[in-house]
Homo-oligomer: A and B are copies of this chain.
Amino acid sequence: MSEALAQGATIGILGGGQLGRMLSVAASRLGYKTCIFEPGGDCPASHVANCHLQANYDNAEALAKFAASVDVITYEFENIPTSALDVLEALRPIRPGREALRVSQDRLIEKDFLAKLGLKIAPYAAVNSEAGLRNAVETIGTPAILKTCRFGYDGKGQARIDSAEDISEAWASMGDAPCVLEGFVSFTKEISIIAARGLSGEVSCFDPGENVHKGGILYTTTVPAQISAAQRTDAVLLAARILNELDYVGVLGVELFVTPQGLIVNEIAPRVHNSGHWTQAGCTVDQFEQHIRAISGWPLGDGARYADVVMENLIGDDMSRVPTLAKEAKTQLHLYGKAEVKTGRKMGHINRITD
């Protein structure tokens, strides 16, 4: 641990949501402080951070002040403007590094990257016009999904195309943004693997979880996933290939489709991931601490799974279930302290120990 940050050092976190909140808590367990950079006020991460620098990402002065006040910089979301990264990177290390952000900020670049690495992905095509979309639909077929290359999450910035008749409306809904058309994959289940790589290059993966989505938003993650030992091994190996290729430092989430033809990579996220929240209840070291360990130069921790867990997101009005959930045995609550309940908003999650 000669490279490790000293006790009392400060970790800068870009983004003030629930992932930043749980990263901040994990940092505290290892004796570190955090400083949150987030334009919004009263954000979930700021409630458990040593400081909150409230400014916009185009405020170079604030970014420089933030960088000067921390020892290393990480982030809880991937859509950080390049100009902000340029300011920050000149002053402090950013972990995971720029390459991981470059690749994951753009669906097209990400797909090209994964394809070049030899991993299986759904058929895809770049789309920059209605005519281009028409060509792509002809090649890829229907049903297919049109997605903006950038800034999409939780089903936003997406349109489903079931036949040629949907093309005009789908393209119009994208506001002329560069897009990618993805072919449908016939899968038996969705899983994800949360993988970590340390500063010294060591790799450690959590047990894959099985995901169920509702309305484009993650609903539950269940461990263990009902997959074969070979599929489990495949998931670990492909995650490790991605980590090594990116010279990655930190935790990475990889979403996968399980198909008769093998595992197909849906997307990667260069950060802690909603489908890894179960690790809080099932592992000695959870994904948040694993990320902090990696970016702080610690050895990776013991992420072996010791319990069966079902993680369930609490979305919007699910908050009305809290009084009932609070009384349930073997149920850990994690609420994010968000001031306002909104439809589709992630308000918290529960981890139920099921064995």
- Expressed in whole angstroms, the minimum distance between the Cβ of A203 and any Cβ of chain B is 15
Interface size class of chain A, counting residues whose CB lies under 8 Å from the partner chain: 35 or more
Q: Give the B-binding residues of A (Cβ under 8 A).
A: 1, 4, 7-8, 21, 24-25, 28-34, 46-50, 281, 284-285, 293, 298-299, 301-302, 304, 306-307, 319, 322-323, 326-339, 348, 353
Across the interface, A47 reaches (CB within 8 A) one of B50, B284, B304, B348, namely B50
Question: Which residues from chain B contact A339 at a C-beta distance below 8 Å?
Answer: 7-8
Can you give 7 contacting A-B residue pairs, CB < 8 Å?
A1-B326, A4-B323, A29-B333, A30-B333, A31-B338, A48-B48, A48-B50
Q: Is the CB of A328 within 8 A of B353?
A: no
Which 6 A-B pairs give the minimum distances between C-beta atoms? A31-B335, A1-B323, A302-B329, A48-B48, A31-B337, A47-B50
Contacts of A293 in B (CB 8 A): 326
A4 CB contacts on chain B under 8 angstroms: 323
Asked if A32 meets B337 with Cβ closer than 8 Å, knowing A46-B50, A49-B48, A323-B1, the reply is: yes
CB-defined contacts of A46 to chain B, threshold 8 Å? 50
Give every chain B residue within 8 A of A331 (Cβ-Cβ): 284, 302
A31 → B minimal CB distance (Å)? 3
Q: Which residue of B lies closest to A353 (CB)?
A: B284
Contacts of A306 in B (CB 8 A): 307, 330, 353
Q: Quick one: closest B residue to A45, CB to CB?
A: B28
Residue contact B284 to A29, C-beta cutoff 8 Å: no
- Are B323 and A7 in contact, with the CB atoms below 8 A? no
CA distance A7 to B30 in the complex (A): 28
Contacts of A319 in B (CB 8 A): 7
Q: A47-B50, A48-B49 are in contact. List 4 more A-B contacts (CB 8 A).
A: A7-B335, A28-B48, A32-B337, A284-B330
